[in-house]
Structure 1
Amino acid sequence: MGVTFNPYDFHEVDADPYPVYARLREEAPVYRNEELDFWALSRHADVVAAFRDAARFSSANGPLLERRAWGPQARKAMSFIAMDPPEHTRMRRLVSRAFTPRRIAELEGRIREIARRHVAAALERGGFDLIRDIAAPVPTDVISELAGVPEADRAELRRLGDAALHREPGTQEISREGAAALLELVGHFAALVADRRRERRDDLTSALLDAAADEDPLTDEEIIAFLHLLVGAGNETTTNLIGNAAYWAWRHPEQRARAFGGRIAAWVEETQRYDTAAPTQLRTLTEDVELHGTRMPAGARVMLLPGAANRDPRVFDRAEEYDLDRDTSELVSFGSGPHFCLGAALARMEARAVLSELVERVAGYDLDPAAGSRRQSIYIRGFASLPMTVTTR
């Protein structure tokens, strides 16, 4: 019997997708799921090529598989990651004027302060939930502060973002609760943009309103969509990266010793490769494409699997081993080409800050995954809850 891949199988695939990914790479590098109407690419070379080929592998219908989310309306919630050039080029250029490397670099000290505050508060309790108490609130605070979201609204934005992404077992479409959460999020960001139109402040939302130079400025709708993308996707990626890093270092004591010995950056990068926080993205074909002797027709929905690509033995030696000493320069966790993640540097900085604060204060730790839970979403891989106990220095 051939390999079967249903990303909504939260019991088998979500628990550990990597055996299925391995079979896809070897047995069905161009995989077809008739029931859900998508193709899947799992080999590193094919995933990278598709990421870089925006002309044939279009983003115009968005990166999500669900029919309610897939289509030209996707840009309303997903901003420029649901656009193709030249629209994508214009939008990304304008956003980049506000979301500059300098602005991100200037945040580093503040990120460490935020991480230090949450880590210290958790350690005072002795036993805590790594996700709820540290991994989730740190990126929420950082990105909310960057965007100008009031502190009183941040926990609610996190809750709404979780509700929008959650899928119940056996379901494939966004729930009524999830759809309502999306509308509430849009309402929050619309109010924020309206407030900054009345009075600018020193934050990203104000900078986005002033981003235009010699071209049309961003509309309110475009800014709202970008803020939704930033606060939603940005939070999730970093939260899951932190949780996954703690989990796999706990599972591999030798690697944990290396991490605690100062290899923080390597810890972050190898975790991204080994257990990719954002393992799937969708594209739509603008023309027939043939790969490995199989023709995918124009209009086909193609799921790219960076989570599978990051363990391709054609690129990574001993790909199934968690090893902080390896070369991770070919990882595709943040995509590639014109849609390479604009927030990649920020996510890495946040993860390094949290893990550094933990290492400085903790001599050892233990996790209880059985008492925790995993996120149930085909787009993000990580923990919703991960109890942790520590031995402080």
Structure 2
Amino acid sequence: MSNTSPVYWDPFDREIARDPYPIYRRMRAEAPLWYNERHDFWVLSRWDDINGGLVDWPTYSSSRGPILEVIKANIEIPPGTLLMEDPPIHDIHRRLLARVFTPRRVLSLEPAIRDYCVRCLDRLDGADGFDLMAQFANEVPMRVIGMLLGIPEADQLAVRERADSKLRTEPGRQMKVSADALMDTDLFADYIDWRAEHPSDDLMTELLNAEFTDENGVTRTLTRQEILTYVTVLAGAGNETTARLIGWLVALLARYPDQRADLLAHRELVPNTIEETLRFEPTGHAIARYVARDVELYGQKVPEGSAMMLLVASANRDEQRWENGERYDIRRKIDQHVTFGLGTHYCLGAALARIEGRIALEEFLDRFPSWDVDWDNSALSSTSTMRGWETLPLSVA
């Protein structure tokens, strides 16, 4: 794109999504606060502004949702939808789920996660090629979330497909939003009822029994509808993002064979490779917020009631924060990126995503030290919230 043309970014434009980074770079330099007239939203793209915005929840509110189309739809959000709440109610609901995602609990899942990875890869023995997304990357998070929630393995694929379909959009089109579509809790109703009669060591049982003090000071257990909401949020949040991370790990290591060779020779770099991949190609490029009060930035007033897009993918490459930020470097020293957010809405499942990514990469490298991507037949997913591979055909040695 010629630098004589005006800066333009559109989250619904699939052509832009192929490689949005040159536009992000121009936004940081030329228009760090930018307004999209066509879709009526504002954008921040610099590291300092994103960091400040993510923690300033009284100004940049989550109460209308973290997705542009959801904010614009102005629908009533069911209580317990953590991603769509502000403190203090958010903190009460978050504490309940934080019990499930303790470091000890997450680490205890490692043998099961490794078993899922091995079983998936066993099926690919002898193959000279396969679609990474369909046959590996989408499978592992589905199994892990299913295990956490207590969903029988035979039903996990249907659950994932229904959860993912709510985020999927037609190329160039916006997500169709309604309260019913957003919180499709009917999917889990039978499981909740069954678990009430057959308790187990899983998240549903834990939520059924959890006591907490609500916003009215009443100590109680969760209602059935509240449990359904929690479970629906977790099922949607845990599947797609981790699958996209696994896809980017394999795609980037194919694109940068020198980095792959370094990693194969120095397997201790796997955890840092996860962090650099999360920085360099975050699964979600922008977090939307509702502007709850007038704010002035760069000499412009953003009025209360506006929608603001916080471009985390731009912040993660900001040259003011990262030396050679546009370079993929698995040896880079990374103390903090914003892929998992920051502050009160920092991703509860971040530790789980990291451990899934690490184990998936370790097992994949053990099985396939060399692979190529058929880029001509690869396709990025069509969602306005995520950027990752829908299909990633590989040929393996």
What's the TM-score once normalised by structure 1's chain length? 0.93
Aligned to 1:87: 89
Deviations 1:97-120 (A, max 9, x none): 233322211101111111111122
CA distance in 2, matches of 1:280, 1:302: 10
Aligned to 1:194: 193
Worse-matched range after superposition: 121-130 or 32-41: 121-130
Unaligned runs of 5+ in 1: none
1:127-276 superposed matches below 5 A? 127-174=129-176, 185-213=184-212, 215-261=219-265, 262=267, 263-276=269-282
Aligned to 1:73: 76
Instruction: Tell me if the contact between 1:375 and 1:381 (Cα under 8 Å) persists in the aligned partners.
Output: yes
Shift in alpha-carbon separation, 1:74–1:17, aligned structure 2, 3 A: farther
3-state SS of paired residue (1:8): coil
Query: How many Å apart are 1:231 and its aligned residue?
Result: 1.5
Q: Select the residue among 364, 388, 391 that pairs with 1:385.
A: 391
Worse-matched range after superposition: 299-308 or 115-124: 115-124
Instruction: Tell me if the contact between 1:139 and 1:239 (Cα under 8 Å) persists in the aligned partners.
Output: yes
3-state SS of paired residue (1:125): coil
CA distance in 1, matches of 2:111, 2:13: 41
Aligned to 2:48: 45
Q: Select the residue among 8, 31, 34 that pairs with 1:31.
A: 34
Shift in alpha-carbon separation, 1:129–1:16, aligned structure 2, 3 A: same
Paired residue type of 1:385: T
Shift in alpha-carbon separation, 1:216–1:24, aligned structure 2, 3 A: farther
> How many aligned positions are there?
386
Worse-matched range after superposition: 314-323 or 287-296: 287-296
Query: How many Å apart are 1:189 and its aligned residue?
Result: 1.5
Unaligned runs of 5+ in 2: 214-218
1:259-338 superposed matches below 5 A? 259-261=263-265, 262=267, 263-338=269-344
Aligned to 2:216: none
Shift in alpha-carbon separation, 1:124–1:220, aligned structure 2, 3 A: farther
3-state SS of paired residue (1:357): helix
Paired residue type of 1:30: L
> CA RMSD, aligned part only?
1.9
Aligned to 2:359: 353
CA distance in 1, matches of 2:197, 2:136: 34
Worse-matched range after superposition: 299-308 or 186-195: 186-195
Aligned to 2:22: 19
CA distance in 1, matches of 2:356, 2:188: 23
Query: How many Å apart are 1:86 and its aligned residue?
Result: 0.8
CA distance in 2, matches of 1:245, 1:98: 27
3-state SS of paired residue (1:302): strand
CA distance in 1, matches of 2:227, 2:72: 19
CA distance in 2, matches of 1:231, 1:26: 38
Instruction: Tell me if the contact between 2:114 and 2:360 (Cα under 8 Å) persists in the aligned partners.
Output: yes
Query: How many Å apart are 1:278 and its aligned residue?
Result: 1.1
Paired residue type of 1:186: T
Instruction: Tell me if the contact between 1:315 and 1:330 (Cα under 8 Å) persists in the aligned partners.
Output: no
Deviations 1:255-313 (A, max 9, x none): 11122231211211111111111111111111111122221111111111111110101
Instruction: Tell me if the contact between 1:111 and 1:353 (Cα under 8 Å) persists in the aligned partners.
Output: yes
Aligned to 2:347: 341
Instruction: Tell me if the contact between 1:75 and 1:83 (Cα under 8 Å) persists in the aligned partners.
Output: no
CA distance in 2, matches of 1:156, 1:228: 13
3-state SS of paired residue (2:190): helix
Share of identical aligned residues, percent?
39
CA distance in 2, matches of 1:106, 1:8: 40
Instruction: Tell me if the contact between 1:288 and 1:296 (Cα under 8 Å) persists in the aligned partners.
Output: yes
Instruction: Tell me if the contact between 1:144 and 1:150 (Cα under 8 Å) persists in the aligned partners.
Output: yes
CA distance in 2, matches of 1:145, 1:157: 12
CA distance in 2, matches of 1:89, 1:68: 21
Paired residue type of 2:263: A
Paired residue type of 2:52: A
Instruction: Tell me if the contact between 2:249 and 2:277 (Cα under 8 Å) persists in the aligned partners.
Output: yes
3-state SS of paired residue (2:301): strand
Paired residue type of 1:139: P
Instruction: Tell me if the contact between 2:279 and 2:317 (Cα under 8 Å) persists in the aligned partners.
Output: yes
Query: How many Å apart are 1:68 and its aligned residue?
Result: 7.8
Aligned to 2:67: 64
Deviations 1:299-340 (A, max 9, x none): 111111111110101111001111111122221000000000
Query: How many Å apart are 1:75 and its aligned residue?
Result: 4.1
Instruction: Tell me if the contact between 1:60 and 1:71 (Cα under 8 Å) persists in the aligned partners.
Output: no
Paired residue type of 2:196: R
CA distance in 2, matches of 1:65, 1:326: 32
CA distance in 2, matches of 1:227, 1:186: 8
